[in-house]
Structure 1
């Protein structure tokens, strides 16, 4: 159960990280704008996926 909540927090972290990468165009090094948009978008999509997966597992464990 704790893993599901940790996945929610991790998903939020990935979304915030993706927004930061897009806004500041920096991820351990200065990025070209096109690379920053792609990397930021991927991070946001992965964060949404993590949150969705955690919510479905939480809902499934609540039904049992």
Structure 2
């Protein structure tokens, strides 16, 4: 159960990290704008995926009880 909540927090972290990469165009090195937008977008999509997966697992766990 705790893993699902940590997955939610991690998903939020990825979304914020994607926004930071897009805004500052930096991820361990200076990025070209197109690379920064692509990488930031992928990080945000992965964060959304993790949040969706965590929420579905939390709902399934509650339904089993």
2:25 corresponds to: 25
Runs of 4+ residues over 4 Å off in structure 1: none
| Aligned match of 2:63 | 63
Root-mean-square deviation (Å): 0.2
Q: TM-score, normalised by structure 1?
A: 0.99
Where do 5+ consecutive residues of structure 1 fail to align? none
Q: Deviations over 1:14-40 (max 9, x none)?
A: 000000000000000000000000000
Which consecutive unaligned segments of at least 5 residues does structure 2 have? none
* Aligned residue pairs, count: 64
